[in-house]
Every structure is written in structure tokens, then in C-alpha cells.
Structure 1
Amino acid sequence: MASIQKRDNGSWRARYRDAAGKEHARHFPRKIDAQHWLNEVTASVVTGRYVDPKGGKITFAQWFEQWSAAQVWATGTKLKAEQALAIATFQDHQIRSILPSHVQAWVKGMSARLAPATVKVYFNIVSSAFRAAVTDKVIAENPCAGAKLPRERRREAAMTIPTPEQLGEALEAAPNWFAAFISVCSFAGLRLGEAAGLQLRDVDFLRRTISVSRQIQGNTKASAEVVPPKHGSERVVYVAEELIQVLALHVQDVGVFGDEQWLFGTGGTYFNRNSAADRWRDVREDAGIGEFTLHDLRHFYASGLIADGCDVVTVQRALGHAQPSITLNTYSHLWPTAEDKTRTAGSRLISAVLGGSADSVRTGKATSL
């Protein structure tokens, strides 16, 4: 319902009620201006672009805190969201006043000091907050739409994978109590937090399996906590007999600790991200193998599965990826190309026709093929 009335002072009062029954009004010196305003409001309602005129007055930080409080996030995601808000240069602006140029300037500033992948994570969180504001009719458009992000390096160029020789040197240099942790990351593909969260009951020594049912999140002893695995990552990993033997020796020689019988840790507590990474840095420096991370050991495991002919779904399940597309996006460059498959298929055809004799293809008869 909308109307225009002339006031005693000669101005014109235009008013309407929104879908919730709330009244909104503005005053104009001319009736035609009042009518134009009501026409714009009506058009926005019809096209679905209507927003509460007062809703966009809150700051982005106020909206972000309100929105994030309703999200069901893992601890790590919540931490990244807090970091994204902390570095948002427009956090104190009214949300309705934030322009695409503000967002692009923020992205450019981040790109000067952060890795492209980190910029993308923070940008996606902020963009999600803006999208929610559009859905709730707080603002009409998402100012993140169309923003240009820094280019990420191609995965095949950015991914570093140690060679078997380098990994062997690392295991040789590792202290006895840490070697099994490196082995679990390298030969079962567990993430750092998943390996840190292993307890004795997770290893089935007869069936040669490792169950991933928890992980340790947090960078320090104070912030570390036991949480469920990432979405879709709870799994059973079928491992080699040799790895089972390594774990059996670890239990025999090093032992477990705590009522939960944790397998790995230091100082009587399980590893956190920093403590495990610190121990690994000491090992790689002693071994002189370069700047490989513990996550690169997971890539080592994936590359071995792929090189041995495992299909996408098998690798996905072993690594605990929620979708096969994640596995392909990460490791597609490691699978044989169409050219490789064509050559292999051609070789099999020739072997089938010529009896597998490599010499026969050099004979005169072979040239007639």
C-alpha cells in the first residue's frame, strides 16, 4: 500500500508498507519527486531487488558477526572467518556503502603480502557474507561480484613431492619416536591433524587398516582440540603390511600415552600443528632434503597410488576427499594423459597381432601394416 499526501508546509509525504507491514516514508518538495520514489520502490519489489532502506545502515562488521554466528562451522573455518573480518579494510563501513572498488582494493592489498590461495579463502568467506546480505534484503547487490583475484600457480608447478630417495633420507634422520608419524603421513596419506589424532584402537593390526575418526586442530598446545575429521574425511585406509610393522615396532619401542592411548606426541601430549611441523623441520634439515612440508608427504602417497594404476574413486577414498572432483582438481596432472593411453593401447594391439615380438615390427612384413 502506497500513498502521497501534501503536508501543511507544502512538502509532499510519500509512504508505503513493506511485506512485513513496516511503514517507510520520505518527504519531497515536489509531488513528481515523491511519485518517482514510489515508482522505484514498486519496481524493486516487482523485480525482487527491494531492500530495507534502514537495513544497510549497519556496518559490515556488525552484519558479519550476526551472519557468522548462525553458521555451522568447524573450528578451522571459524578461525579463518575471524581472520578475514580482521583484515577487511571496509569492516567499519555501512554495508550499503561498500562498492566493488572497495573490495577490489582490499583484494589488491592482500595480494601484495599473502599467497593467492589464502587470498581466495578470505575473499570467498567475505563474499558469502555479502551474498547472505543480499538474500536477507539488507543490500541489493554483492559488491564482490566481478572482483579479480590473483592467479594461482598451476598445480603441477606449485605441488612439490619428495622422491623416494629423499623420503628415505628423512626417515633415516628422524628420531625413533617420530619416524612412525612420518611413515603414516607418507604411506597412508593422512593429513597432519589426522595423524596426530591417531590412537592405538584406530590401528587394526590383523586386517591392516587405519581408521580415521578424529583429528587435532589448533596451532599451539593451548588452542589444540580433538574434533571430527573434515567433512567426508572419516574413512578406513587399507595400508601395507610394512606400515603395520612400523606401527607395531613404534608401540613396542616408544609406547602410547594417556588414557586414550595416543600414538604420537611430545611432552606427554598429542601433536598440534606447530609442534609436529617443528619436529619435521628439524628432520628435513638434518636430512638436507629441502623445504618439503608434512602435507607434501600426503602428495607423495597420492602420487604412488596413481602411478600404480589406482582410479580416481580409489584415490579419493584413500585420501578422504569429499568428492572425486576434489581429487581430480588436485592430482589430475599425475594421471596418464590421453596420449600415454593411446600409445599403450597401440602397443597392445601390435602385440596382439604380431605375437608380442618387438623384432617382428622391424621386418618387411611389418612395414605392410
Structure 2
Amino acid sequence: MKKRKDGRYQTSVYLGTDDEGRKKYRCICGKTQAEVKRKAAELKLRIGKGIDVLNENMPFGELCERWLQYKKPLLREQQYKSYSTNLKPFAILHDISIRKLVKSDFQTIINSYAVKNPHTGKPTSKKTLRDFRLTARQVFDFAIENRILDYNPVSYVQIPKDAPKKERRALTEDEQRWIIDTPHRAQLPAMLMMLSGLRLSECLALQWRDIDLERATINVHQKLVMKGKPHILQGGKSKNSIRTVNIPTILVDFLKNQKTHSGQDYVSLTASGKLFSDTAWRRLWESYLCELNFRYGDFSDYKNRPKSKFDPHGTPFVIEKFTAHYLRHTFATNLFFCGQDLLYVQQQLGHAKPETTLNIYTHLVQTNQIHKTDKVIDFNAYISAITNAKNKLAK
């Protein structure tokens, strides 16, 4: 240890060698010899624990990039994009050393987004805030697993209690009738997802041999991977994803009619007979929503109703847009409406745990949205009642 000209004390601690074999040291300074000894002892303790002290001053932005590159081959394209998006709120911390970051750095950002999302101008939902926190936590877990750090500051970040909770929405009865009544190339996969609860990837990988129309069941055992060249992957999101789903009579009848017009092995393919890519599906779904909007949208606030969805002047979008996942959510909601128990709904959806199903649909259990009944309502009868409601109103 030596005393510097500025009156502070200084010593060096050997860190090891870099990738090129050169010895590396870290200079430690302090106002007193005791302070320097304490800092040196702490550094040697981290080295003794196997911490990679050569990288512990890495900027947070670089750690995020390393983690994303590590995860990229392991994720679907959409998951990778979601992770990248979830890290954007923390961009302000990118140039700060990861060793210097503490809980308050992340808590402050979470709190500010709970009050106002700078992109939407509205408070960020609890689910989105949890996604932000979970992604940042995984980044630091990656650093711990690689012995760069031994502490995860995001583990202690809390979600504000007054952050808004965004519930997933099921389709209304009118919207369900739109799906049932409207011919379109997307109607077949839409009917499957709404009346069997299949995930989009499961639906687009479904083959006719997986459907037993006599027993009214669907065997789910594979999924479509849209990343890169579309291909079929055996298995599912979890082992529970491999399952047999019961389907209602209205779907059985619909599929019987569809099968007579199909010479394909797969149930849902592009117009050219190929597996769906992410872009191909997105275009088909946008076309489907445009069709529903033109048929069922309320244009009373406009002087002239569009003559065609291909109107060169443009057709205003007046219905509420929904994604394919709304259809799966609708299926589960209808099962709960029929009085089915949690374990049955979990099995039909292919969730890994009952807790997953409960966490998603707990708002249905805690409100009066579910019919209070001691007996299970027949699912066929329930769906038929929704379908026939339009005819009763017409009469």
C-alpha cells in the first residue's frame, strides 16, 4: 500500500489474466488505510467465490445484449421480440456498470411506468409491469449463472398496488356468432380455436387424422413453428399440451362439411397449400377482420356506408379488433360459464398447472360473470343457445 500525492491510499489486487494471457490488476483507493484494506478484502472475497470480476463492471446494456443473443436460438421469434421490448424501459440504465445498479434504479422506472407509459400516455397494466420486471430479472440471473455477479437487484422490485389490472377479454355473443356465420378462409382455424381452445400454433399444425368426428375429440400433439421456414414440431409448450380435447356438435358438423372439400392432410393451409408463415397468417387475419368489420360494423356515424371492403376511399374500422388468442380465451370462458371445474378447464387448455388457469381466469371466479349453478350445463346446449339467439331476435 502506498500514499498518493492527493493524500489518499492506494493498493492493487491481482484479478487474473485476460483472454490473451495478460495479467490484470484492479487499483483500489481510499481516504484511510483501513478503508483500502476493507475494499481489497471485499474484492478478494468475490474472487474467492468465483465471481468474474473482470466483467462485473460491464455496462447494463452490454449484459442485455449478451442475454438476448443467448436466448435467441431458444425462443420463438415473437417471444424474442417480446423480451427485447420488455427491456426498452430500462434503456436509461444501459451505460451504468451492472455492479453499481441497485433495486431503486429499477423500482423508480417501474413506478414511473405505473403512473404513465410514455408511449401510450396511460398507466401501464400490472401484467405488463410484471413482464418488464421478469425480463430484467432474467438478465441478472444470466449474469449470476455466469459468475459475473452474485446479487440480483431486480428480485426485490415490487409492482405498485394501484397499477391497473388488464383482464383478458372473451368475445361477446355477437362476436362469436360472427365467427360462426361468416365464410372466409380464416373461418376454419377461427372456429377451431373458439370451440376447442387450441393455441394458434396447435391449430395450424392440426391434421385431419388428429380429429375424431365420431367421438367428437381432437388429439393435440404437435405445433407449427413459424420462425424461419415454417415447420412442424412434435410436442407442445409443456407435457400437458399433449392432450385430447372434447369438441361440441356445432364444430363437428362444421368440420364434416369442410373435410369433404379438402384434399389436404393439414386442416389449415395457405391458399397455395403451404404451412403458414408469421406474415402469411397476419395477412389472412387482417383480411378476416376487415370482412367482419364490413359485414357487422356500425357505420351510422358516417354519412355514407362503404359499398365494399375494397372501397378505394378506405373503410373505417369500427369494430373492436381481436387476435386469435381471444378465441382460445373465449373457449375457456364458455367452459366456466357452463359450470365446468378448474381441473377440467386446465386439461382442455393444456396448461401445465391449475394455478396457471386460475391466475388467468380468477376474475371470472370472483365476480358474478359465471352462472351460479350446482350442475354442469351441457356445452353443446350452451353454444347452440348463443348461435340460435340471432334467429330468435330475427323472429
Question: TM over 0.5, yes or no?
Answer: yes
How far is 1:175 from its partner?
Answer: 1.8
Following the alignment from structure 2 to structure 1, what is the Cα–Cα distance between the partners of residues 186 and 26? Answer: 70
Following the alignment from structure 1 to structure 2, what is the Cα–Cα distance between the partners of residues 113 and 53? Answer: 37
Deviations 1:90-119, CA, capped at 9 Å, x for gaps: 334332243445434544368332653344
> Given the superposition, is the C-alpha separation of residues 111 and 256 from structure 1 closer, same or farther in structure 2, using an over 3 Å criterion?
farther
Whether the aligned pair in 1 keeps the contact of 2:208 and 2:266 (CA below 8 Å) is: yes
> Given the superposition, is the C-alpha separation of residues 200 and 328 from structure 1 closer, same or farther in structure 2, using an over 3 Å criterion?
same
Following the alignment from structure 1 to structure 2, what is the Cα–Cα distance between the partners of residues 25 and 168? Answer: 70
Q: Which residue of 2 aligns with 1:301?
A: 331
Whether the aligned pair in 2 keeps the contact of 1:312 and 1:327 (CA below 8 Å) is: yes
Q: Give 2:137's aligned amino acid.
A: S
Q: Which residue of 1 aligns with 2:320?
A: 291
How far is 1:177 from its partner?
Answer: 3.7
Whether the aligned pair in 1 keeps the contact of 2:193 and 2:199 (CA below 8 Å) is: yes
Q: Give 1:112's aligned amino acid.
A: P
> Given the superposition, is the C-alpha separation of residues 262 and 256 from structure 1 closer, same or farther in structure 2, using an over 3 Å criterion?
farther
Following the alignment from structure 2 to structure 1, what is the Cα–Cα distance between the partners of residues 106 and 130? Answer: 13
Following the alignment from structure 1 to structure 2, what is the Cα–Cα distance between the partners of residues 135 and 102? Answer: 22
Following the alignment from structure 2 to structure 1, what is the Cα–Cα distance between the partners of residues 366 and 53? Answer: 57
Asked whether 1:91 is paired with 2:71, we answer no
Superposed, which structure 2 residues align to 1:1-369 within 5 Å? 13=11, 15=13, 26=27, 31-41=33-43, 51-71=51-71, 73-75=74-76, 76-85=78-87, 88-89=90-91, 90-104=93-107, 106-107=109-110, 108=112, 111-113=117-119, 116=125, 117-149=127-159, 153-154=164-165, 158-172=167-181, 174-218=182-226, 226-227=232-233, 228-231=235-238, 232-253=240-261, 255-257=262-264, 260-271=265-276, 272=278, 273-285=281-293, 286-288=295-297, 290-291=319-320, 293=322, 294-335=324-365
Number of aligned residue pairs: give it.
327
Q: Which residue of 2 aligns with 1:348?
A: none
Q: Give 2:64's aligned amino acid.
A: F
Q: Percent identity?
A: 21
Whether the aligned pair in 2 keeps the contact of 1:213 and 1:235 (CA below 8 Å) is: yes
How far is 1:197 from its partner?
Answer: 2.3
Q: Give 1:282's aligned amino acid.
A: C
Q: Give 2:176's aligned amino acid.
A: L
> Given the superposition, is the C-alpha separation of residues 233 and 283 from structure 1 closer, same or farther in structure 2, using an over 3 Å criterion?
farther
How far is 1:276 from its partner?
Answer: 4.2
Range moving further from structure 2, 210-219 or 121-130 = 210-219
How far is 1:328 from its partner?
Answer: 0.8
Identify unmatched segments of 5+ residues in structure 2. 17-22, 299-318, 376-395
> Given the superposition, is the C-alpha separation of residues 138 and 337 from structure 1 closer, same or farther in structure 2, using an over 3 Å criterion?
same
Following the alignment from structure 2 to structure 1, what is the Cα–Cα distance between the partners of residues 297 and 372? Answer: 40
Following the alignment from structure 1 to structure 2, what is the Cα–Cα distance between the partners of residues 27 and 97? Answer: 16
Range moving further from structure 2, 122-131 or 227-236 = 227-236
Deviations 1:187-239, CA, capped at 9 Å, x for gaps: 101223322222222212333221223333559xx775544532242322121
> Given the superposition, is the C-alpha separation of residues 17 and 91 from structure 1 closer, same or farther in structure 2, using an over 3 Å criterion?
closer
Q: Give 1:268's aligned amino acid.
A: G
Following the alignment from structure 1 to structure 2, what is the Cα–Cα distance between the partners of residues 168 and 234? Answer: 29
Q: Which residue of 2 aligns with 1:351?
A: none
Q: Give 1:179's aligned amino acid.
A: Q
State the secondary structure of the residue aligned to 1:144: helix
Q: Give 1:91's aligned amino acid.
A: H
Following the alignment from structure 2 to structure 1, what is the Cα–Cα distance between the partners of residues 229 and 138? Answer: 26
How far is 1:281 from its partner?
Answer: 1.2
Range moving further from structure 2, 244-253 or 71-80 = 71-80
Deviations 1:294-328, CA, capped at 9 Å, x for gaps: 32222221122122222111100101111100111
How far is 1:127 from its partner?
Answer: 1.5
**Structure 2-normalised TM-score?**
0.67
Q: Which residue of 2 aligns with 1:355?
A: none
Whether the aligned pair in 2 keeps the contact of 1:100 and 1:143 (CA below 8 Å) is: yes
Whether the aligned pair in 2 keeps the contact of 1:196 and 1:264 (CA below 8 Å) is: yes
Following the alignment from structure 2 to structure 1, what is the Cα–Cα distance between the partners of residues 373 and 250? Answer: 34
Whether the aligned pair in 1 keeps the contact of 2:336 and 2:345 (CA below 8 Å) is: yes
State the secondary structure of the residue aligned to 1:130: helix
Whether the aligned pair in 1 keeps the contact of 2:51 and 2:147 (CA below 8 Å) is: yes
Q: Give 1:329's aligned amino acid.
A: N
Following the alignment from structure 2 to structure 1, what is the Cα–Cα distance between the partners of residues 263 and 346? Answer: 30
How far is 1:250 from its partner?
Answer: 0.9
State the secondary structure of the residue aligned to 1:55: coil
State the secondary structure of the residue aligned to 1:210: strand
Following the alignment from structure 1 to structure 2, what is the Cα–Cα distance between the partners of residues 342 and 301? Answer: 19
State the secondary structure of the residue aligned to 1:280: helix
- Structure possessing the higher radius of gyration over alpha carbons: 1
Whether the aligned pair in 1 keeps the contact of 2:15 and 2:53 (CA below 8 Å) is: no
> Given the superposition, is the C-alpha separation of residues 28 and 304 from structure 1 closer, same or farther in structure 2, using an over 3 Å criterion?
closer
State the secondary structure of the residue aligned to 1:138: coil
Range moving further from structure 2, 224-233 or 191-200 = 224-233
